[in-house]
Chains A and B, each alone.
Chain A
Amino acid sequence: MIVAKNITKHFGKLIALDDINLACDAGQCIALIGPNGSGKTTFIKSILGLVVPDKGEIVFNGKNISKDWQYRSQIGYMPQIGRYPDNMTIGQLINMLKDIRKHDCKQFDEELITDFQLNKMLDKRMRTLSGGTRQKVSASLAFLFNADVLILDEPTAGLDPLASEILKEKIIREKQKGKLILITSHILSELDDLVTEIIYMQDSKLIFHKNIDALRAETGEQKLSKAIAISMTKILENA
């Protein structure tokens, strides 16, 4: 569904993405992991067209995204730090996005708005919201359009355990519908029962991209964090 070929991006002298190649397919739930500053968010932003890569191309459903914009109707994006117009209320924000996307979305998925009880505070202004509530709004907006691809950047950061569980269950339900889900996270234990593929990035490079079952079989570990740790030591030994 999404194919990235030789993506390279510089910010001044800093290399943010160094020759990234990967392919993602529908039905997969991919965890994009790596230390801070390893280029995860930059990569996600280049898929969305928010960052323009210096080299390489990203193909979405067989179409190069650099000249296209309609492909974004198939993406629901939850940013790491949700930044919204300060003096809009939650209700106005949701209605505006519905209005903008009503042509490409037949039915809105308001499950998360209800589950997070956002409909009780629709007239609260965005600037008055706490970090967690803001995150709930971001999540609700990402799922609102029933998109085929969900890109979630640190979805559970800042959420309370209850909300985090609601979101996780929602992600599992959407995965079962055969959607492609791309998650970045630092909390590996959280991803255990979610993901089918692991992409590990470090120093702007893609270190490995493996199926989780293959990874577990290879390392003999059930827990994701241990499996990755073992896999990483192997790679370092080989290098």
Chain B
Amino acid sequence: MHKVIKYVIIDILRNKIVLAYTLFLFLISFTVFSFEDNTAKGLLSLLNLILFIVPLVSIIFSTIYIYNSSEFIELLLSQPLRRKQIWLSLFAGLSVSFTLAFLIGCGIPLLFFEPTTTGFIMTFIGCLLSIIFVAIAMLAVVSTRDKAKGIGVAILLWLYFALIFDGLVLFLLFQFADYPLEKIMMIISALNPVDLSRIIILLRLDVSALMGYTGAVFKDFFGTDIGFIAALGILILWVMIPLQLSLHKFKRKDL
């Protein structure tokens, strides 16, 4: 298994996009922290950037990369290798590359300017978010045969998680403003890994006081250790479920 992962990682590194992404993350992290005089503000700006850029780059690059590796996958499939092994190696190769890119690009500046638990958690969540969107990309690729369509689906998925979902939630909130929605909001937030990540980090910053009553309910749950672990568990489910579904489909795919 490690052999195939090795070749996937070598191939990704040769591609240089991930290197450029690392450099880009590094630059914005440093600029954000140098512009803001207090790190809490810097953290907040960086959070918003991370929640936008990391899913976008992870999902789009992974989708295109897997489509472009179709020859490589075909070649490996006629060798004595398990389908599961090939698919998981691709996933591991992409995840490792993006996690490393995030650790170097954002993790180092974060831990340098904010060497606290919050800094650590943010680094960890960023890595997890990268992996989640690699898994979602794999599901998008295995479900659509056509490359253009697959990339379109990936972009739409990103738009949904980054923008449309929030719009829908706002719409829901306004429509049902007369009802107590706080508990339901907690369940809804689990349906979007980006929002869940945002909540986990915001609750660790002082600005959570500005989130009103819903914020207080969130704090009551996600602010506790159990809540935090539950939130991480949900994020891990966001990796496992798309990955399992894509693996299931890949095992039955004709090439």
Majority secondary structure of chain B interface residues (helix, strand, loop or mixed): helix
**Residues from 1 to 45 in B contacting A, C-beta threshold 8 Å:** 3-4, 7, 11, 14
Chain A 94-110: CB-based contact to B (< 8 A → 1; otherwise 0): 00110111001000000
List chain B residues, Cβ under 8 A from A79.
74, 78
Across the interface, name the chain A residue whose C-beta is closest to B71. Answer: A83
Q: Knowing A84-B71, A85-B71, say if A77 contacts B78 (CB, 8 Å).
A: yes
Q: Knowing A84-B75, A85-B71, A86-B71, say if A51 contacts B81 (CB, 8 Å).
A: no
* Residues of B that sit less than 8 Å from A by CB: 3-4, 7, 11, 14, 69-72, 74-83, 252-255
- Give the residue among B14, B252, B255 with the most A Cβ atoms within 10 A: B255
Please state if B74 and A51 are interface contacts (CB–CB under 8 Å): no
List chain B residues, Cβ under 8 A from A101.
79-80
Chain A 203-219: CB-based contact to B (< 8 A → 1; otherwise 0): 00000000000000000
Name 27 interchain pairs, CB-CB below 8 A, sorted by A.
A11-B254, A45-B254, A45-B255, A48-B77, A50-B74, A50-B255, A51-B254, A52-B253, A52-B254, A69-B80, A69-B83, A72-B79, A83-B70, A83-B75, A84-B72, A84-B75, A85-B11, A85-B69, A85-B72, A88-B11, A96-B7, A97-B75, A99-B3, A100-B3, A100-B81, A101-B79, A101-B80
Please state if A100 and B4 are interface contacts (CB–CB under 8 Å): yes
Across the interface, name the chain A residue whose C-beta is closest to B70. Answer: A83
Please state if A97 and B254 are interface contacts (CB–CB under 8 Å): no
A164–B88 alpha-carbon span in the complex (Å): 39
Across the interface, name the chain A residue whose C-beta is closest to B76. Answer: A100
In the complex, which of the residues B71, B76, B80 contacts A70, with contact meaning CB atoms closer than 8 Å?
Answer: B80
Please state if A73 and B77 are interface contacts (CB–CB under 8 Å): no
List chain A residues, Cβ under 8 A from B4.
100
List chain B residues, Cβ under 8 A from A49.
77, 83
B88 to chain A, nearest CB (A): 14
A84–B76 alpha-carbon span in the complex (Å): 10
A75–B25 alpha-carbon span in the complex (Å): 46
Total count of chain A residues near the partner, CB < 8 A: 27
Across the interface, name the chain B residue whose C-beta is closest to A83. Answer: B71
A73–B79 alpha-carbon span in the complex (Å): 7
A42 to chain B, nearest CB (A): 9
A88–B11 alpha-carbon span in the complex (Å): 9
List chain A residues, Cβ under 8 A from B78.
48, 50, 72, 75, 77, 79
A212 to chain B, nearest CB (A): 28
A13 to chain B, nearest CB (A): 15
A191–B32 alpha-carbon span in the complex (Å): 70
Chain B CB within 8 A of A87 CB: yes
List chain A residues, Cβ under 8 A from B75.
83-85, 97
Chain A 104-122: CB-based contact to B (< 8 A → 1; otherwise 0): 1000000000000000000
A84–B78 alpha-carbon span in the complex (Å): 12
- Give the residue among B3, B4, B72, B253 with the most A Cβ atoms within 10 A: B72
